[in-house]
Chains A and B, each alone.
Chain A
């Protein structure tokens, strides 16, 4: 990549991503409202929420929590930038995981029992999603011959026809990161209630806005991973369609299911996810896919 292209990628990853993610969040709320027979908020509602939160008086439960909130956002942005620069897939995922862990650590650093519960539940969510997301790099590398995202772009063929099983399994981590039912045990979006506000209980005002923007980056990160399953030359819009397709399936599942227990979540994610990804890897290794 030329230096001009690198600078453009970084600018897109840092500035354009939250704008797109905010709009996507607004469309999500509108679509959900329509599915429930309501009109719903305006599409730019998430931006109103963020600006309002930034204008509220800061109230801090503990200084450590602020450090963790900034670390969450900083590392998630770093992961998005690494993805935009087409670096190593495993490294990118590990940076993303490190960022994700900072959010529950911040929640666990204050004494509020609801925040503690939320933090523990968020850790369980990460326990469910991280192995699947990390293992999904294996069938990709078997097909492409490398863990580099740049090599997926250089591969020349779309991954989806041979990796559709892995793609389907990856919808579990996408739903988990987007805090959607049936996996929203640690604090969900919209009007769902769980243990006050779960992991977000003690973040308030501008710091809640900060965490929310970090969450936008995380959402775009996992959706971009879905987009990697169809990158062919200059047809970049096909990746966008694939990613939005996965996003829409997650939305429908959110609207037709209710929240389930954490033990079910871990069993389902590990049982389904690890088995199917292993199956996909074996099939590719044998040359059957």
Chain B
């Protein structure tokens, strides 16, 4: 593994966006970021800024009110970037599937790299999902 790829996998900065989930998965994401799980061990830092972020964590189903915001945030992240969907609503639409006000899963709006199932997803599963997504960076090249 060359030094650039190694640095990328060692320093994923997260951005968290909720597409209107029930907040269950959001709470689990915040739980994963607390000192208890100490994700800074892996170089993971929570960023409030899409321009600094490498990994976009999205919760909740894509809907007509905020799919533009989601796409805008995604476009503001510089390459290489990863999208990790947390929870079943973001993965497939979940209980909101075929509701008239939703579009379905997040992959109807932006490309998704990893789906983390669960209602809500556990913090351990979220950390595992982000680490799994980092494996895709090795294929990105320099």
Residues of A within 8 A of B (CB): 29, 33, 36-42, 45, 47-49, 51-52, 55-59, 190-191, 193, 196-197, 200-205, 208
Contacts and interface: CB of A to CB of B under 8 A. Distances in A.
A41 B142 CA distance: 24
A202 B76 CA distance: 11
B23 interface: no
B11 A204 contact: no
A8 B136 CA distance: 44
Given A48-B7, A55-B142, A193 B46 contact: yes
Given A40-B41, A197-B49, A51 B35 contact: no
Interface of B: 3-4, 6-8, 10-11, 33, 35, 38, 40-43, 45-49, 51-52, 54, 76, 78-80, 142
A208 B46 contact: no
Given A52-B8, A55-B4, 13 more contacts: A33-B40, A36-B35, A38-B35, A38-B40, A39-B38, A40-B38, A42-B10, A52-B10, A52-B11, A55-B142, A56-B79, A58-B78, A204-B78
Contacts of A208: 52
Contacts of A38: 35, 38, 40-41
B40 A59 contact: no
A40 to B, nearest CB: 6
A231 B115 CA distance: 59
Nearest to B47: A197
6 contacts: A48-B6, A191-B40, A197-B52, A203-B51, A205-B78, A208-B52
A190 B45 contact: yes
